Amino acid sequence: MQPFSIAIHGGAGTLTRGMMTPEKEKAYLEGINTALEQGYALLQKGASATDAVAAAVTSLENCTLFNAGKGSVFTAEGTHEMDASIMEGSTRQAGAVAMVTGIKNPILLARDVMEYSGHVLLAGQGAMAFAAQRNYEILPPSYFFDQFRYDQWQGIKGTDKTQLDHADSDRKFGTVGAVACDIQGNIAAATSTGGMTNKKFGRIGDSPIIGSGTYANNQTCAISCTGSGEFFIRGAVAYDVSCLIEHCQLDLQAACDEVIKKRLLALGGDGGLIAVNSKGEVAFSFNTEGMYRGYRRSDGTSYAAIYGV
């Protein structure tokens, strides 16, 4: 039987032992495992990799611990602007949205862009008009309100400072993502984020940018990234991993490490990624102290972790 697998991330950054209470660690690991279970259950039933990554990211968007969907951080205006993208490796079809508000699960809207719009990336008012056309419910700001996120924003409100996530450290990137390989050997990737606390000017990071934060090609790999978005865009990180596999014949783990631990660092960027290929092999790579991550594979192995080795 063709091996199948799914991997997820919930962000990378300054994650060291002792920073969180045991209860908080348990909650994060439960969030990771719940997302894995929802995606893996679909793969077991023969669903597509696209279905699996959409389900896993939806689960993470519904968890307030992660900076996506319901857990999204506050902008400088006190709103929530969310970005997401999805790509399937068999056709290299992709869809993405940026600067959407009131959408419970931006990853599902990104998938609709891929399947129904004829476009790849829709942003702002245009993305919201498309959501209305697709009959999406627009939720009130109260759905996205979290007291901890709000207090964090209050601490830097009115300044030019931004914060890459809702932690006390400036170096914790709360983007979420998933990659999967199904029983047909097709792969897919999906990524979703609430961006940066106190962000201005309609800032958009790498998460909705195909080739930077998300990429999938059956011939190489599927990638979802998390980190300092501007550097991931400049390095075309997700596509760079694919290129190293295609043109330099690197294996999956080696290609991920070359990009994250050498090329991205050379640009001054930090963060990480998750990857899968059409053989069902899974890889993680990050140049930070930790990354919320996990995988499940059809050989019965599973894994969930927060900190570096």
Task: Please give the single-letter amino acid code of residue 122.
Answer: L
Distance CA 57, CA 150 (A): 23
Per-residue DSSP letter, 62: T
Instruction: Name the catalytic one among 58, 75, 101, 175.
Output: 175
Please, are residues 3 and 279 in contact by the beta-carbon 8 Å criterion? yes
Distance CA 140, CA 122 (A): 21
**276: Cβ–Cβ under 8 A, 6 or more apart, which residues?**
5, 6, 7, 179, 180, 181, 187, 221, 222, 252, 282, 283
Helix (H, G, I), strand (E, B) or coil at 210: strand
Please report which helix (H) or strand (E) contains residue 29, including its range. helix 22-44
**211: Cβ–Cβ under 8 A, 6 or more apart, which residues?**
236, 238, 239
Catalytic annotation on 14?
no
Active site residue ranges: 175
